[in-house]
Amino acid sequence: METVRIKRHLFAFYHPAVLFVYFLGAAGLTMLTLHPAFAAVSFMAGGCYAVYLKGPGEYLKSLRFYLPLFLAVAAGNVFFSGLGLSVLFYFGGNPVTWESVLYGLCSGGMLVAVLQWFGCCERVMTSDKLLCLFGRILPVISMMLAMIFRYIPEVIRRAKEINSAQAALVGMKKCSKRKKTKQGLRLASVLMAWTMENSMETADSMLARGYGSRKRSYYTNERLTVEDTGLLIFLGSLAVFSAVMILTRVNRFAFYPTLRGMTLQLPLLLAYALFLMFPLILEGKEYIM
């Protein structure tokens, strides 16, 4: 049975509110601007954090999904957008411009960076933290999200088990495409039946345990300490400052019709990088001490 490698580090032990503000800020700030420097910083910071949490091997596996997505977004903008004045060459009668190439690269990089941050959030913001944070405010939605986060890796693991069992019984390498399609449909059918059965068992178990009968208690009882409060204020202030500066200054950068507003404010970029790299900086400080 395949187990998921979960790495707990210092940042994961802070209050769920601190973690939520950080990941919300990381994903939100990434989506606020397409400036090449900021997109590159977010992509590298998210990649480094993902490597730290998941390990190099698992991160390289995720690149099999990220890289085609990045190339598809970049190529789609390059070949289907004729905007820009700096023509590099013509493809099928349509101009391919330097501005459209850069815009496509930044768009693809931003999308992959956001997905990396969501992947890191899924590793750190566990279901119990999510329930602790939103259980009293949005009990139904938080329960649904917690169950979804729990079921996704479980469904993937079960699909691999079913696929391995089928391969052991009938073989997969020498099968025709038609037979492989039939086996894929059979796998989906078995997986769907198992998911529905497991959902019914979970619902019966929750009902038997008195879910919804009275005010709920929680497995974890997180308390907001003075250190958590200080860190929450620091990260929140840094995120708000970065957002305001991005909206008022960085977004003066434009791709079309020609590149303009390329001047980069280094202090703002450093503040942005400090926010995104904070968990790794915290871990590095702890390692040195």
> What is the tens place of the pLDDT at every residue in 107-131?
899 999 999 998 888 888 877 777 7
- Say if residue 285's pLDDT is above 70: yes
Q: At what angle do helices 139-170 and 127-134 cross, to 10 degrees?
A: 160
pLDDT for residue 212:
62
Does pLDDT of 173 surpass 70? Answer: no
Rounded to an integer, what distance in angstroms lies between the CA atom of residue 113 and that of residue 31? 9
Instruction: Please report which confidence band the pLDDT of residue 215 belongs to, taking 50, 70 and 90 as the band edges.
Output: low
Confidence at 288, pLDDT banded by 50, 70, 90: confident
HSE at residue 162, side-chain half, CA atoms within 13 A, is 19
Tell which residue, 242, 28, 238, has the closest CA to residue 114. 28
Q: How many domains does the chain have?
A: 1
Residue 113 lies in a domain: yes
Number of H helices, E strands in the chain: 10, 2
Q: Side chain identity at 155, as an amino acid letter? A: V
Residue 203 covered by a domain: no
For the beta carbon of residue 10, count every other beta carbon within 10 angstroms.
12
Q: Which residues contact 120 (CB under 8 A, 6 or more apart)?
A: 23, 46, 49, 50, 53
174 assigned to some structural domain: no
Please check whether residue 97 lies inside any domain of the structure.
yes
Is 117 within the bounds of a domain? yes
Q: 81-85, 157-161, 226-230: which has the minimum mean pLDDT?
A: 81-85
Domain-located, residue 280: yes
Tokens linked to 9? 């580090």
pTM, rounded to two decimals:
0.74
According to the model, what pLDDT value does residue 178 have? 75
The pLDDT value given to residue 162 = 79
pLDDT score of 35 more than 60: yes
Query: What is the band of 274 on the pLDDT scale with cuts at 50, 70, 90?
Result: very high
Supply the range of the domain harboring residue 33: 10-164+219-288
The whole-number pLDDT of residue 213 equals 62
Question: Would you say residue 251 lies in a domain?
Answer: yes
pLDDT (0 to 100) of residue 97: 78
Which helix H or strand E contains 142, and what residues bound it? helix 139-170
Query: Are 97 and 82 in contact, with CB atoms under 8 Å apart?
Result: yes
Residue with tokens 């390990």: 55
Residue 4: its pLDDT value, please? Answer: 45
CA atoms of 26 and 235, how far apart (whole Å): 10
Q: Specify the higher pLDDT residue, 145 or 285.
A: 285
If DSSP codes are grouped into helix, strand and coil, which group holds residue 87?
A: strand
| Residue 189 falls inside a structural domain | no
